[in-house]
Amino acid sequence: MTGQLIEAGCRAIPGLSRWYLDHHVSIKRLEKQVRRRLGFPAPPASVTLLVTYACNFGCDHCESTSHPKAEWGLPFETIARLIREIREMGVKTLIISGGEPLIRPDLFEIIELANQQGLKVLLCTNGSLVEQQGDRLARAKLDGVFMSVDGLEETNDQFRRHPGAFKQTFHALELFQTMGIRYRMVNTMVHPGNLHEMEELGDWIMASAATIWRIALALPSGRAKWQDRFCATDDQIRWILRFIRDRRQRFPVMLSEEVGYVGPWALEVRPKPFASGDGLSHFAIMPTGDVIGSSCLHDITYSEGNIKQQDLQTIWRTGFKRYREPSLPEDCHECRYLHACGGGVYAMRVGDRHCLKRLWEEGGQ
Ligand SMILES: C[S@@+](CC[C@H](N)C(=O)[O-])C[C@H]1O[C@@H](n2cnc3c(N)ncnc32)[C@H](O)[C@@H]1O
Ligand code: SF4
């Protein structure tokens, strides 16, 4: 709320608007820091709950290294306790992800409990089980769905290691539309192996039941870690940014937050200025019970605590130092974009892919 007031004020005063954009990340961080010091910390806006690591797909890039025999997840009673704690903390939105959430038979009880607690519920799914679970999904109160398409049919199905995945996803989008779920996002990870298909894929998505298209770069996490074949070159990233800028004239397309700060493209490829909410307004709970500040760094080496030993409120109050008082690489300290970028996204820093300034400093727009 305070942040929204500051933002509205800065935007209303000519000259301040530019300054605000150039200091956006630092202002957000400062606001949160002041609130913590004064003893009324802002609650997290959203929490991602990975209900299982298991999945009926085995995508090449999977950040959670999911596969059919992967670790199952927390028992229902523990999840029920977490949902109550999440609500007591003042969280508004619960994002249910995995692995593939729909393979958990008690998923609908989990959603119902979240609904009863007044949480907004968003579901991330690969779409393959939506038709089979259609009746129960139609009864569940979902506020939105995130689905994934990673190329045209052949590329996507091979990449996701699931024949029929492409058709199932587009069919599931239609089913979700029929169910009256208003927010239907498609996520695509762009990499050198599918870049040439983006124009045609864009046409598919625009003609589908999707309401928004989110374009991501590979996060160096899970099965994508150390995989250089997923890293787009600078010229390819510039192409992607221009592609999003042009497509946005015709359809809601956005660059994922996890890519980080993109300088002069900032407001051309996203609806809002960049600011990573990791550990500041968001966290994720892994199937092991570990709490991670980033929703995409599914690596328990970066655990802030485990819900089997501590309650969530305590972890939220005492952990997350790596996000709240970050020790940034030396280059960041001397950088003119520091206050708009803040060192980018933690998960990208871990893989040394956080800094993109060469894209516009050396290559233009
Ligand atoms: C881990 S999946 C879990 C939910 C569901 N199984 C699905 O595929 O949508 C969540 C999202 O993260 C994306 N994702 C997985 N690994 C990634 C990576 N290394 N980099 C960027 N996005 C990734 C997936 O494509 C998917 O859109
Ligand atoms: S990205 Fe999603 S569908 Fe693919 S293996 Fe991971 S959890 Fe399963």
Expressed in angstroms and rounded, the spacing between residue 330 Cα and the centre of ligand 1 is 31
The pLDDT tens digits for 157-176 are 999 999 999 999 999 999 99
Expressed in angstroms and rounded, the spacing between residue 90 Cα and the centre of ligand 1 is 27
57 in contact with ligand 2, CB cutoff 6 A: yes
Q: How far is it, in rounded angstroms, from Cα 12 to Cα 35?
A: 24
Q: How far is it, in rounded angstroms, from Cα 147 to Cα 91?
A: 23
H or E segment at 3?
Answer: helix 2-12
Do 57 and 101 contact (CB within 8 A), yes or no?
no
Q: What is the pLDDT of residue 11?
A: 65
Residue positions counted in the chain: 365
Q: Which ligand is nearest to the CA of 165?
A: 2
44 in contact with ligand 2, CB cutoff 6 A: no
pLDDT band at 195 (very low <50, low <70, confident <90, very high): very high
Q: What is the pLDDT of residue 2?
A: 59
Express as a percent the part of the chain with pLDDT over 90.
83
The pLDDT tens digits for 73-113 are 999 999 999 999 999 999 999 999 999 999 999 999 999 99
Q: What is the DSSP string of 195-256?
A: GGGHHHHHHHHHHSS-SEEEEEEPPS-GGGTT-GGGPPPHHHHHHHHHHHHHHTTTS-EEE-
Atom of ligand 2 nearest to the CA of 124: 2
Express as a percent the part of the chain with pLDDT over 70.
96
The pLDDT tens digits for 176-189 are 999 999 999 999 99
Q: What is the pLDDT of residue 227?
A: 87
125 in contact with ligand 2, CB cutoff 6 A: no
Atom of ligand 2 nearest to the CA of 67: 5
**Ligand 1 pocket test target in 56, 65, 157, 189 with most atoms within 8 Å of CB:** 189
62 in contact with ligand 2, CB cutoff 6 A: yes
Q: What is the pLDDT of residue 9?
A: 67
**Ligand 1 pocket test target in 51, 57, 66, 187 with most atoms within 8 Å of CB:** 187
The pLDDT tens digits for 4-43 are 666 666 667 767 788 888 898 999 999 999 998 898 888 9
Rounded to two decimals, the pTM is 0.94
Would you say residue 1 has pLDDT above 60?
Answer: no
Expressed in angstroms and rounded, the spacing between residue 30 Cα and the centre of ligand 2 is 36
Q: What is the pLDDT of residue 229?
A: 94
188 in contact with ligand 2, CB cutoff 6 A: no
Atom of ligand 2 nearest to the CA of 56: 8
Q: How far is it, in rounded angstroms, from Cα 170 to Cα 163?
A: 14
Label the pairing between strands 212-217 and 183-190: parallel
Q: How far is it, in rounded angstroms, from Cα 121 to Cα 115?
A: 7
126 in contact with ligand 1, CB cutoff 6 A: yes
Do 169 and 213 contact (CB within 8 A), yes or no?
no
The pLDDT tens digits for 38-64 are 988 889 999 999 999 999 999 999 999
The pLDDT tens digits for 257-314 are 999 999 999 999 999 999 999 999 999 999 999 999 997 888 899 999 999 999 999 9
Atom of ligand 2 nearest to the CA of 160: 4
Expressed in angstroms and rounded, the spacing between residue 98 Cα and the centre of ligand 2 is 7
Q: Phi and psi of 252, rounded to 5°? A: -70, 105
Q: What is the pLDDT of residue 3?
A: 60
348 in contact with ligand 1, CB cutoff 6 A: no
Q: Which ligand is nearest to the CA of 169?
A: 1
Q: What is the mean pLDDT of residues 190-214?
A: 98
46 in contact with ligand 1, CB cutoff 6 A: no
Atom of ligand 1 nearest to the CA of 64: 1
Would you say residue 196 has pLDDT above 60?
Answer: yes
Q: What is the pLDDT of residue 21?
A: 86
